[in-house]
Amino acid sequence: MADALKVGIAGLGTVGASLVRIITTRANELAVTCGRAIEVSAVSARDRSRDRGVDLSGATWFDSPEEMAASADIDVFVELVGGAEGAADRSVRAALTRGLHVVTANKALLARHGVELATIAEEKGVLLNFEAAVAGGIPVIKALRESLTGNKVARIYGIMNGTCNYILTRMEKEGLSFADCLKEAQRLGYAEADPTFDIEGNDTAHKLAILTTLAFGTQIAADEIYLEGIGNISIEDIEAAADLGYRIKLLGVAQRTESGIEQRVHPTMVPRDTVIAQVDGVTNAVAIESDILGELLMVGPGAGGDATASAVLGDIADIAKSRPGAQRVPVLGTPAAALAPYQRARMRSHEGGYFIRLTVADRTGVFASVATRMAENNISLESIVQRASPNGAAGGSKTIILVTHATTEESVRKAVAGIKAEDYLVGEPQVIRIERPKAF
């Protein structure tokens, strides 16, 4: 049997502690499967005295990740510190530069510095694995980086934030408001005390930026993403969607178009009888549409200490099973030097169906005016529903709900601007994009 693979783990929070426990308790099975033992040889965390319920007696303690990366006697540096800058960034660079393999779960780091880090890893001939960085336990990185080799991806989309999906699911199932569901998510530990980063779509955007690069072979462009959060989604939207045969999900979508790559994160209506529409609660899902394989959908836990640790362990095991020396698996699917510049598609050119909900004054001619604004912009309608306002409180107002056939963002914006210029609108119009899975 080959020498043991020596692992150094920086960061001993929930994921790190779970990882140490698994490597320790499954030592025999791992040695058989990988053809060599895996040992936790070094660790680093802020508080040395804290009891994490795991045996760290065999590991050398380092006070900082950077110190461990620079001088520990290890083969693999596992970064579970978090954050795009600071210790995580410095220690990963140091480890790669020293010729260590690196495994990380850090989506922010990759979204920010992924191409630079991949360049160093490829120059040094080491692996930089990051399965846990996107959609937790779902092996979407491996699917894109390995299984889909030779395919051209047309679109990749997914539910990649458990907090948002939990809130939207609860709103639908229980008829509760966004605010109430957010509070419940916080109570259950599914949402942070400051939930902004999740709710406004930034977390999904980081993950999407990484997937875009793997799917389309373009440089990471995390700042070039159209972003809309779910804070604006009301129970009326969810009920209207249900009536029309749709569910609302926060999707991250990246798509090849004639003018470039679209990257967008926004509340999305998906047809209720599709598989992804059935993905509820904190569960994540990622779909990939490619030209040879067709459509692939993967559903699983997007977060949680154990699920994340499982993905990290899979990455470590891949290194344990591989031959020492130069590796040929490009970190980002395409060798870093061969990544194409990212060309952003104009959001105004986005094509698709739209759901538009308007609260309007209840008087003659309004319906005709709305229909005229649509027609003027060449928007054809799949359905149009007029109903009394949900709670009569708006006194003399009514609701008009439109679902369009495929049109462009530009047309919809113009039509909505036209309606806003009229005097019958009560409050802001709601506009939600529709996304249709291709095969299922």
Contact residues for a second copy, defined by CB under 8 A = 2, 18, 22-23, 26, 29-30, 32-36, 131, 137-139, 142-143, 146-151, 273-275, 277-281, 283, 290, 292-301, 304, 306-307, 309-311, 313-314, 317-318, 320-323, 325-330, 333-335, 338, 439-440
Closer CB to a second copy, 145 or 350, in the complex: 145
Q: How far apart are CA 168 and CA 172, in angstroms?
A: 6
- Residue 177 Cβ vs a second copy, minimum distance, rounded to whole Å: 23
Closer CB to a second copy, 259 or 278, in the complex: 278
Signed CA dihedral, 367, 372, 377, 380: sign only: positive
**Residues linked to residue 265 through DSSP beta bridges, in sequence order:** 227, 252
CB 432 within 8 A of CB 268: yes
- Residue 73 Cβ vs a second copy, minimum distance, rounded to whole Å: 22
Residue-by-residue DSSP string for 395-422: SSEEEEEEEE-SEEHHHHHHHHHHHHTS
Closer CB to a second copy, 288 or 425, in the complex: 288
- Residue 261 Cβ vs a second copy, minimum distance, rounded to whole Å: 17
For 115, residues 6+ apart whose C-beta sits below 8 A from its C-beta are 213, 219, 220, 332, 336, 339
CB atoms within 10 A of CB 361: 15
Place of tokens 């569901």: 181
- Residue 189 Cβ vs a second copy, minimum distance, rounded to whole Å: 16
Q: Does the annotation count 438 as an active-site position?
A: no
- Residue 377 Cβ vs a second copy, minimum distance, rounded to whole Å: 35
Q: How far apart are CA 13 and CA 68, in angstroms?
A: 17
CB atoms within 10 A of CB 187: 9
Which among 6, 107, 124, 207 is annotated as catalytic?
A: 207
Looking at residue 345, its amino acid is A
170: enclosing H helix or E strand: helix 162-174
State the pairing for strand pair 101-104/226-227. Answer: unpaired
- Residue 135 Cβ vs a second copy, minimum distance, rounded to whole Å: 11
Closer CB to a second copy, 101 or 350, in the complex: 101
Closer CB to a second copy, 247 or 398, in the complex: 247
Closer CB to a second copy, 336 or 415, in the complex: 336
What are the backbone dihedrals phi and psi of residue 418, each rounded to the nearest 5 degrees, phi first? -60, -40
Q: How far apart are CA 403 and CA 38, in angstroms?
A: 55
**Residues forming the active site:** 207
